[in-house]
Amino acid sequence: DGGITQSPKYLFRKEGQNVTLSCEQNLNHDAMYWYRQDPGQGLRLIYYSQIVNDFQKGDIAEGYSVSREKKESFPLTVTSAQKNPTAFYLCASTDRRTDTQYFGPGTRLTVL
C-alpha cells in the first residue's frame, strides 16, 4: 500500500533536548511538508521541500531544522531553541498534478 508513515506516534522530550521526527513516503511524490497543529490554530507550515537536497522555511521555521537527502524521507528535528514544542506534528506529500496533499498519521510531541 502506498502512503506516508510517521514515527514515533508519541514522543516525550525533556527541556533542552533535540528530537527528530521521522517521515517516509512511498507515493513517489516530489514535494513534502511539515506542519504543526495546535488547538484552535489550524495547520501551520514549518518547512517544505520540493525536490531532494532543497527545502524552504515555512511560516514558523524558528527552532526547527530539516533535511531531504532522499526523495522518500523528510525528517524534522525539533531543537532546544523551539520555545513551545509541545504539539501535534503532521507530515504530508503532494501529488503535483492536483496540489492535493496526503498526510501521515502524525506524531504527538510532549515536552516534560
Partner 1 sequence: QKEVEQDPGPLSVPEGAIVSLNCTYSNSAFQYFMWYRQYSRKGPELLMYTYSSGNKEDGRFTAQVDKSSKYISLFIRDSQPSDSATYLCAMSYAGNNRKLIWGLGTSLGVNP
Binding-site ranges for partner 1 (CB under 8 A): 4, 6, 31, 33, 40-43, 45, 48, 50, 56, 58, 88, 90, 92, 94, 96, 98-106, 108
Nearer to partner 1 (CB atom), residue 41 or residue 84: 41
Nearest to 17 by CA among 56, 75, 66, 63: 63
Nearer to partner 1 (CB atom), residue 19 or residue 92: 92
Nearer to partner 1 (CB atom), residue 18 or residue 110: 110
Number of neighbours of residue 45 by Cβ within 10 angstroms: 16
Cα distance between residue 22 and residue 24, in whole Å: 7
Q: Is 72 helix (H, G, I), strand (E, B) or coil?
A: coil
Q: How far is the CB of 1 from partner 1 (least distance, A)?
A: 14
